[in-house]
Amino acid sequence: MQLALFDLDNTLLSGDSDFEWAQFLISKGVLDREVQEAKNVQFYEQYKAGTLDIYEFLAFQLAPLARHERAELDAWHREFMQTRIRPIMGAAARSKVQEHLEAGHLCLLVTATNSFVTGPIAREFGIPHLIATIPAWENGAFTGLSRGIPSFKEGKITRVEEWLESQGLWWGSFSDSWFYSDSHNDLPLLERVSRPVAVDPDDKLRQTALTKGWEIISLRGNAV
C-alpha cells in the first residue's frame, strides 16, 4: 500500500484558496475592502514568512461564515469555484493527482485552509479524502470558530496520524509515502514521509530540498 498526500495552496493550485476566498467576498461587497483587504494581505505575508498565528488568522477567516446562511454561502462558493479556483487548477496538477489515483495509492488532500472552502476543491481534483481545518458548526450554522487541531505545521502530522488510526493504519502500513508541498511551513510533514516533494517551492523549502536531496518539481511548467 502506498500513500500520497497533497498540500493545496500554491501546490496543486497556482494560488492560495484562503486568500482568494477573502478577496472574492470583498469583491461581492460582503467584506469591507479597505479594512479586510489589508488584513488579508497581512496574514498572507505572515504565512509566507512563517510567522502566522493560526488562531488569529482563523478568527479572521471564519468570521464571515457565521454571518450568513449556509445556502447563501454555498451559492457564493459555486461562483467562487467557477471564477477563482478552476482558473488556477492547472493540467499538470490534475495529472499528478490522477497518476497517484490510477496507481491505486491512498490519496489525501492535507491543507490548513478550512474544509468549507476546500471540500469542493478536493472533489474537483478527484481526491477522495480531505484533512483540513474544521470550522465549528452549531444549531445548523457556522460559529465563526474552529474545532479541534488546525491542520497547520506540526498539526498536519497530528491530523494525518489521527485519520490513519481511524482507518486502522499507521505510517508503517505503507511501502512509500509522498507529500507534495510548496511551503517551508510544511517541513514537519515533509520530513515525516519517505518521499517528500517540493513543488514550486519557496526559498526556504528550496534550500532545504537541495540540501537533503529531495525531489523538486513544478506543476506550473517544466521541472525546476
> For this structure, is 9 an active site residue?
yes
Question: Which of the residues 9, 182, 186, 200 is marked catalytic?
Answer: 9
**Active-site pick, 7, 18, 186, 202:** 7
Which residues fall within 8 angstroms of residue 187, CB to CB, at 6 or more apart?
Answer: 205, 208
Closest by CA to 114, choosing from 85, 78, 154, 142, is 142
Q: What are phi and psi of 178, to 5 degrees?
A: -110, 150
Q: Is 18 a catalytic residue?
A: no
Q: Give catalytic residue positions.
A: 7, 9
